[in-house]
Amino acid sequence: MKAYGGDLRKKALNRGARPLVFRSGTMHITLRSTKAKGKASFQNSEKRNKVKNFVYTFSAKKGVKILSFANVGNHLHLHVKLHNSVLYKAWIRGLSSGLAMISMGLEGLRQLKERKQRFWDQRPFSRVIQSFRHFMNTKSYMEVNILEGLGMPRVQAETLILESRRYFKSG
């Protein structure tokens, strides 16, 4: 499994280069912030559409194809197809700063900076999708997170996705 970021960055032995895949594969990326709660939540009614539109339009500008997107309130899941590493660096920097700005606003980010706090909890977590089975598992995981973001309890969302897979597999 090729994964990088998030909790994996806490130990020195896990600090290798971020594995990226271009053209031939896809990646699952997660951005998480505990500051994105209440009015600052990505799911806030005023921000939900802004976040979604920003993710899709900014990604299109930078040449990153969004295969699926899940907004769960305090974190975002993206299933993406990248084209090169230079575009990835510009894309992830711009995406993370733009999302922080949408969530907190300029004044909120200034207050965080004054308190020497960061908006994002950790570096973005990324995982390379290596096989068709892994691709399908990621697709199911994204669907569960989409339903969870819409307010469905996680257990119920997992059951619904699992049962729908069984139904269409047997039929």
CA–CA–CA angle 129, 33, 31 (5° rounding)? 20
pLDDT, the chain, mean? 84
Can you list the domains of the chain with their CATH numbers? Answer: 3-130 (3.30.70.1290)
Contact (Cβ atoms closer than 8 angstroms) between residue 31 and residue 51: no
Looking at residue 113, what is its pLDDT?
Answer: 87
Looking at residue 135, what is its pLDDT?
Answer: 87
Residue 47 has pLDDT above 60, yes or no: yes
Q: Three-state DSSP class for 39?
A: helix
Per-residue model confidence as pLDDT tens digits over 89-102: 899 999 999 999 99
Give the confidence band of 76 by pLDDT, cuts at 50, 70, 90: very high
Query: Which amino acid is residue 101, in one-letter code?
Result: M
Partnered with residue 32 across adjacent β-strands are 75
Single pTM value for the model: 0.81
Looking at residue 2, what is its pLDDT?
Answer: 62
Lowest mean pLDDT among 9-18, 67-76, 146-155: 9-18
Residues 129 and 135: their CA atoms lie apart, in Å, by 6
Residue in 122, 92, 127, 124 with CA at minimum distance from that of residue 3: 127
3, burial (CB in 10 Å: exposed 0-12, middle 13-18, buried 19+)? middle
Looking at residue 169, what is its pLDDT?
Answer: 66
Mean of pLDDT values over 35-57: 91
Residue 81 has pLDDT above 70, yes or no: yes
CA dist list (Å): 137 to 53, 76, 116, 133:
26, 17, 38, 6
Looking at residue 17, what is its pLDDT?
Answer: 64
Looking at residue 60, what is its pLDDT?
Answer: 93
